[in-house]
Structure formats: structure tokens, C-alpha cells
Amino acid sequence: MTQIEWTLFAGTVKRWRWAMAGGEIANERYYDLAGRAVRYPLGELLRDVRYDEASRIVSFTHLSASDGTAQPALDQAFGYDENSRLTSITTNAASWGIGYDANGNRTGISLNGSLSAYSVEATSNRTTSITNPARSFGYDSAGNTTTDSEGYTATYNLRGQLATLTKAGVTTSYTYNAAGQRVRKVSSTGAQSTVVFAYDQAGHVLGEYDQNGAALREYVWLRDTPMAMFTPDPANPTGAPLVFYIHTDHLNTPRVVVDRQNRVRWRWLAEPFGTTAPETDPSGLGVFTQNLRFPGQYADQESGLFYNYHRYYKAGEGRYTQSDPIGLVGGSVSTYGYVDGNPLTAVDPSGLFIVDENPPEGLSTYERQEWTRMVKSLKELGERFRARIKTVCFVDRAKLQTLFDDWVLRIDPNVFALRRNRSDFADTRYPNSTFYSRFFQEGDAYNSEAAPGQEFIFAHEFRHLSPSNRAKGSASLTAGNRLSGRGGFDPAEADADKFAELFLGRCPCGISN
């Protein structure tokens, strides 16, 4: 890649060039003044994106990249409920309708008028059965799916990670490292029985290898965007690998893979939850495998599930096969749902942690730019926080990581309406934290109680997720009380301050208690 350019506000790639067999080829993404992607290349196609006043995506339209002619067969239109959950999907060939209960669990999905109804346990958010076609599910005491009548059984280790899965007579076992990343899978039968995985420091998959260490696929990342992949050349396995380039969408989900002749080798223009299988031979040049899916996800061919770091995602149901590790304590949303039912604007690369990006209606162009900047700052703080968790002693790491991965971060919808905005930095009510305008006016580093800094406040709010901290305070924990001089005697606030000081300082063992 050469001549890489970035957007000003979101820090995402805007222009770049790929080295093709016939010379370099230029690629460009277009953004509006609010920093939203409105056009990007998908191989032989261009995709245009349209938004409503709430910045929800309402349509994808497609053009030929060579001559600009419309490609209506690929277009999609979308509708939402009042909670911004995706409720309708319309394409040239099909129409989906999706219903939800008050917790965000699916109650049914219709395809071209044919309804599949979901039965959900009200006390656990577990889907017990689906009709048309009939399916049933079994769970262990932790809420992990152990049986699916579609054809698999599963077991889990003591950390709640998928240990084995048996489908169609083939059993696959999975191994994880201390960071919780899956590093190996071994199948009882099959031409390729063992796959070993390597990751970079940000948790991106760098490569897939066989049991002898020979590369199967290797990936090149530009920040969080997969840009290229290498595979062995079948004609010369010990020689230079073949190079393929990855076109991603506005969320960095791979959608099209092209070779150095710019021929489309793989394409996944799926409906938003990922139900539709990818085209693995769209140009008739041979079956091509590319296993990356939504950000943080890897498709397992042996099960049909997408590995998502802490959990596994089932695209057909638009939900995880495992409950949030913390369960239902204090929460009202589904612990199995994927990105609150809106996979068009939100991602969940770790399987858990979410920053809600949806801005309120009626923002000016400048306010939309500022909203994008604030979302970006929360994401960056989250990534730094995640990295710091990995440095604490082992006894605390798992507890803190579990709490962090359950966190949902939101920006006050009145952040630009000064008369209605809060004077606090933030407010945490498990598992959600809302950040107010005063937080975004803070500097990054800790200075004093009068100017604590964003990292300190971030850690302070995180502490309010802890069961032990919640036990120290009232049912309503208004963050920033002690910092603003109003809550010095609130033990929960004092505890949150102490945690932030330790976490950002010397961080001794025992801080997660």
C-alpha cells in the first residue's frame, strides 16, 4: 500500500493505492461533513450509503465502478424501531421483518412473509426454540448453549470458553491463551485437522497456520482495517505467497477480496446480521476462503459460528450462543443480543464492550463532527484501558476484563444543549455509563480533583461497574460527586477514586475486589 491518506476527524483511511499486476490502482472513500462514510469501493462496485436524521443507515445503493451504471439487484433498504433496532431489511429479492421484546431479544423474523417465531425465557433471555423450521436449544447453568437441534453439541471449560463442539460426527477442540485469545483448534477428521492462530498486540488475527507451522492465510492490518492477505501459491508452495486485497465496508467488515488482476475472488454482500453465506467463487476461478467477518470475528467452517474473542456469534439468529459473563445483574437488555440490534452502525470486536455511536436528531454539521470526535475519544480511551488491564497481576485481570467487556458507553444526547446538560462528568448505572459535556472538556491526564482528567474519570466510572462498589453506595451512583466536592462522604465515590488512583498508578494486586 502506498499514498495512504486519513480523514481529519475520525482518523479512518480515506485514500490509498494497491500494487496490482498491471500497476497501481487508486481507492478512495468519501465522507460527509459529519464524518460518515457515504461512498466506498467494493471491487467492481461502488456502494453509496444514505442516513436518516438520527444517523441510522437507511439504504445501500450500488453502482458499477467502471461506468457508474446502477446495480439495483444488490441494493438494500432498512427500517428501525424507536430504540434504533433494525426491524426491516428489503432487497431486490427478499424482505425481512424482525421483532423484539422489551429486553431486545428477537421474538420473530419473517422472510418474504413466512414467520419464524422465537420463544425466549423471560427470566434468562435464553432462546429455547424457533419455529419454521423447528429448532430447540439447551443450555448449561451459566447460560452457554450446549445443544442446538440444528446439529451440534458443545462443552465449555472452567473459564466459560467453548472447549469442544461436535457436529456431523466431527469433534473440534479449542485452546486459548492467558489473554483469552483462541490459539488452536483441532478437528477429529478432515483434510486440515489443526489450525494455529497468531495475533498482534491489538488482538487482530495475523495468521492461520497448520500443525507444522506452514502458513494457510496471513493478514495485513492498517489500524483496525484488514487490507490484504497472503496465501501459499499452489503452483509453488515454498515460493513467494499470493497477494489478495480486502475491500471493507464502513465498519471494517470484509466484503470483497480481489487478486492482483483485480478479479473478485470472494464476496460477502450479506444482510446486516451476516446470515447470508459469502460467495466463495464469484468469478469462476476456484473456491476461495476468507474467514474474517464482522470486526473481531472469525468464521468457523466446522460449526457455522463466528468466534468473537469472548463469545461465539450465530449469524442466523443475530445473537451470541453464550450469555454475557456477568449475567443479568442490574441490566435490562438482552445478554445474548448483538450490538443492541443495530449491526449497521455498531460493532463489538471483543464480543462485549460497546460504544453507542448513534447521535441524536437535529444536530448541525459542526455538532455531528464533534459527536464523531467524542465517540472516537471514548473508543481510544477504551482501547488504552483494555491494554492496561492486560498489565495488572493475574488475580485481577480476569475480573477486570469481564467487567470491561460488559461496559456500554454512551454520550449524553443533550451534550450540545447547555441548558439541559448535566454538570457532572459522567453517570454510571450498571452496565451503562453516560458521559456529559464536562467530561469532553477535560484534559487527558490527571491534574487534581478540580481537573481530574479523562483517564482518571474513565477509571472512576469503570469502578462503578464492580459489584463491591455498587454494594457501597445507593441504587443511584452519580459519578463525579466527590470530584466536584458534593459527595466526599459517599463510600462508593471514594472507592471509585481510590481505584482510579491505583489503576493508573502502581496498580497493586487486589484492586478488583
Q: What is the pLDDT of residue 508?
A: 46
DSSP-derived secondary structure for 199-251:
E-TTS-EEEEE-TTS-EEEEEEEETTEEEEEEE-BTTBTTSPPEEEEEEE-TT
Q: Is the pLDDT of residue 330 over 70?
A: no
**Would you say 319 and 334 are in contact if contact means Cβ atoms under 8 Å apart?**
yes
Of 199-203, 274-278, 279-283, 505-509, the least confident: 505-509
The three cell numbers locating residue 207: 495468521
Q: What is the pLDDT of residue 265?
A: 98
Q: Which residue has the higher pLDDT, 199 or 6?
A: 199
Q: What's the chain's length in residues? A: 513
The three cell numbers locating residue 211: 500443525
pLDDT confidence band for 483 (50 / 70 / 90): very low
Q: Which residue has the higher pLDDT, 359 or 195?
A: 195
Q: What is the C-alpha to C-alpha distance for residues 242 and 285, in angstroms, rounded to an integer?
A: 14
> What are the φ and ψ backbone dihedral angles of 495, each rounded to 5 degrees?
-65, -40
Q: What is the C-alpha to C-alpha distance for residues 284 and 178, in angstroms, rounded to an integer?
A: 42
Q: Which residue has the higher pLDDT, 476 or 18?
A: 18
Summarize pLDDT for 255-273 with one digit per residue, the tens. 999 999 999 999 999 899 9
The sheet that has 354-355: what strands, in order across it?
354-355, 408-411, 432-435, 426-429
Which of 68-77, 442-451, 492-501 has the highest average model confidence (pLDDT)? 68-77
The whole-model pTM stands at: 0.74
Q: Which helix (H) or strand (E) holds 395?
A: helix 394-405
Q: What is the pLDDT of residue 480?
A: 45
Q: What is the C-alpha to C-alpha distance for residues 40 and 16, in angstroms, rounded to an integer?
A: 12
Q: What is the pLDDT of residue 512?
A: 54
Q: What is the mean pLDDT of residues 286-301?
A: 95
Q: Taking all residues of the chain, what is their mean pLDDT, rounded to a whole number? A: 86
pLDDT confidence band for 366 (50 / 70 / 90): confident
Q: What is the pLDDT of residue 396?
A: 61
Q: What is the pLDDT of residue 190?
A: 58
How many CB atoms are located within 10 Å of the residue 200 CB?
11
Q: What is the mean pLDDT of residues 241-247?
A: 97
Q: Which helix (H) or strand (E) holds 170?
A: strand 170-176
Give the bridge partners for 127, in sequence order. 120
Which of 138-152, 315-329, 451-465 has the highest average model confidence (pLDDT)? 138-152
Q: What is the pLDDT of residue 332?
A: 38
How many CB atoms are located within 10 Å of the residue 72 CB?
9
Nearest to 444 by CA among 458, 455, 459: 455
Of 307-316, 318-327, 381-390, the least confident: 318-327
**Would you say 118 and 107 are in contact if contact means Cβ atoms under 8 Å apart?**
yes
